[in-house]
Amino acid sequence: METLFLLAELFSRFFLVGLFSVGGGLATLPFLQDMGETTGWFGAAEISNMIAISESTPGPMGINMASYIGYQIAGIPGTILASIGLVTPSVVIIIIISNFLKKFRDSKYVNNAFYGLRAASVGLIAAAFYSVASLALFNSEVFSQTGSFFSAINYKSLILAAAVFVCTKFFKKLHPIFLIILSAVIGILLKF
Amino acid sequence: MKTLFQLFIVFAKIGGFTFGGGYAMLPMMQRELVENKKWTTNDEIIDYYAIGQCTPGVIAVNTATFVGYKIKGLSGAIFATLGMITPSIIIIGIIAAFISNFQEYEIVQHAFGGIRAAVVALVLSAGIKISKKSIVDAVTAVIFVAVALLSVLTDISPAVFVVIAGILGILIKGCKKDKVQKEKGGNE
């Protein structure tokens, strides 16, 4: 009975996180910190562990974080309930929005709004590109120590990124999964 | 039933092989959903991402729900979403249960050095593809540059940019059309 209560609490707490965190994976972080403090389920050290693992495993970060915490609290059932709790609010909301869009697809206002939205969305992709690129290709620690921009560039990664980009242009049949696995192997062999 | 199964498998494939969340999934979504299965278009994906920025929840999951719902209604939405989260649940479950300090293994770190470099290239290539139909004139170019710069330089929430850009779209495009119609009317 106690485990049932625990699982119900886990589900409903993650449901709330899913309902209020707007803007994807990392936006859930402040809510998770708050959850750790109010319930005493996990502390700051576990949170930083959780971020590291979520970033180094496949899948959406928010789901990875929920799965990890769910496991720490209540084992495998906890993993499943925390993840499902997190996604339930957004599934409901997206279905409502889908129906709205279907109804108003021909509306001038909706189409004009999307004309602006799409440009903003591509702008956000550019910003995401900047943050993944600066993380992967640039060593900010070296930069702050030496002050030299060029010695802080990670040339090995830069060459690999350029090679993968060329592959996406000239060998369009190559699947992204193949390129990711190949790059992981190169990373292991050349000690990236 | 076959379609539901396919939705589950395709999204499990996307969820199981993308590292780094939402935007890192863009190349995979393009390949699987637009080019292979033709379930959606580049335009729709960019719309889903924009909406995902200002609705609660995980962006990748929101996109899965959108596509699943479009293809097969409520059950499609549920199967696509479950497909997206299943690999995470299994992988994280295994790591949490058996491997402590997973991220500290040297081999994992090296593999990630390689993967991160690949993700840079894949996001760039997907972004270029998707921008072609979204940046179509001076107004959209200005919105694109402004949002990109502001989100790199400030901590303003992406949702704010998306909402403002939507309102700008309605105002600017609405005004343009009125003008064109008035000019047409004047000529007749």
Last residue of a domain, one of A103, A120, A154: A103
- Do A47 and A130 fall into the same domain? no
- Do A13 and A92 fall into the same domain? yes
Shortest distance between the Cα of A26 and any Cα of chain B, in A, equals 9
Token code pair at residue A81? 């309930």
- Do A99 and A44 fall into the same domain? yes
Mutating which of A14, A16, A129 best tests the B interface, going by the most B Cβ atoms within 10 A?
A129
- Do A87 and A132 fall into the same domain? no
Q: Is the dihedral of CA B161, B167, B169, B175 positive or negative?
A: negative
Per-residue model confidence (pLDDT) at position B178: 64
Report, as an integer, the average pLDDT of B162-172: 91
Give pairs for A178-182: CB < 8 Å, separation 24+: A179/B118, A179/B121, A179/B122, A180/B17, A180/B18, A180/B19, A180/B115, A180/B118, A180/B119, A180/B122, A182/B118
Identify the domain containing residue A138 by its residue range.
108-189
- Do B69 and B16 fall into the same domain? yes
Shortest distance between the Cα of B175 and any Cα of chain A, in A, equals 10
Last residue of a domain, one of A103, A133, A167: A103
Per-residue model confidence (pLDDT) at position B188: 37
> Could you tell me the CA-to-CA distances from B77 to B7, B46, B47, B188 in Å, in that order?
9, 18, 17, 50
Q: Which residue on chain B is closest to A92 by alpha carbon?
A: B65
Phi, psi of A153 (to 5 degrees): -70, 135
Predicted ipTM?
0.82
- Do A150 and A91 fall into the same domain? no
Mutating which of A115, A134, A158 best tests the B interface, going by the most B Cβ atoms within 10 A?
A115
Task: Determine which of A3-12, B147-156, B170-179 has the lowest per-residue pLDDT on average.
Answer: B170-179
Identify the domain containing residue B40 by its residue range.
2-133
pLDDT, tens digit, for every residue of B45-55? 988 988 888 88
Which of left, alpha, beta for B100 (phi over 0: left; psi -120 to 50: alpha)? beta
pLDDT, tens digit, for every residue of B118-161? 888 988 988 888 888 889 899 999 999 999 999 889 888 888 88
Shortest distance between the Cα of B42 and any Cα of chain A, in A, equals 11
CA distance A133 to A136: 5
Token code pair at residue A75? 């084992």
